[in-house]
Amino acid sequence: MNNNIDHSSHVPLHIQVENYLREMIEEKEYKDGKMLPSEQEFSRMFGVSRNTFRAAMERLVRDELVVRKKGVGSFVNKERISTTLSKWESFSDEMNQKGIKFQLITKKITWEKVFGKLAEELSVADGTKVCKLERVTGIGGEPVVVSISYFHPRTGIKETEEFNGKLYEILEGTYSCVPQVSNEEISAIQCDKPLSVKLNYETSLPVLVRKRKVLGIGEKLLELNYAYYRADKFVYTIQIKKE
């Protein structure tokens, strides 16, 4: 990790410092909540003013990567990741904005016939064959989310599709399916055996379930997604503004 700050760069100093700090808090010695060096130490290390350092640190606090304890110091936040329901964006984009590096651990694409409640949720007849995309993502090789997507036949997804890239960019760019609305529900269940294996998680512990229906033009269903999150890693926040 390079701690050199280029004072002649077009990139603002506070952004350079922020990028360094984001790399630093990913280091093993800091990931478990270790206290960060003081403002004075950092300013001396980087050769920048305290105001520059504070601007960088404020962004990390805002993204909940760092916690400040008055009279004590700043610590890497080892608490659960906060994810919101206040705006439309893919999960990976949301985590990237928080500086959290998610990795795709496994990906499985199958074509399955759906029946009963699943067919009803997709608004298709029993026995309809649909594309199913299952992904397990994690941090540092540790699985934390299992995402299962079922795509309505109207998307026109081909059986040769490998989903290499961002899902909604593929839907829009390749299949002209423009996601416009995301209807979501949050619930909690007890982890079952299959999820326990995929998430490396105890069956006695709770799992957060995020059900998402992605609608396109004319509010036509494009995707039904179930995402299962380890409850020890995630917390949801909802922002409501008075009109």
Which residues sit opposite 203 in a β-bridge?
none
Contacts of 27 (CB under 8 A, 6+ apart): 1
Task: Identify which of 58-62, 139-143, 166-170 has the greatest average pLDDT.
Answer: 166-170
Tens digits of residue pLDDT in 25-48: 777 677 666 778 788 888 888 788
User: What is the value of pTM for the model shown?
Assistant: 0.62
The burial of 208, by beta-carbon neighbours within 10 Å (0-12 exposed, 13-18 middle, 19 or more buried), is given as: buried
Tokens of 81: 């990741």
Tens digits of residue pLDDT in 46-77: 788 888 888 888 877 776 678 777 777 787 77
* CB contact at 8 A, 223 and 190: no
What string of DSSP letters covers 182-240? EEEEEEEEE--HHHHHHHT--TTSEEEEEEEEEE-GGG-EEEEEEEEEETTTEEEE---
Tokens of 215: 């609608």
Q: pLDDT at residue 78 above 80?
A: no
Tokens of 26: 């990913």
Could you tell me which residue, 81 or 199, shows the higher pLDDT?
A: 199
Tokens of 164: 């290499």
**Per-residue pLDDT, 84:** 46
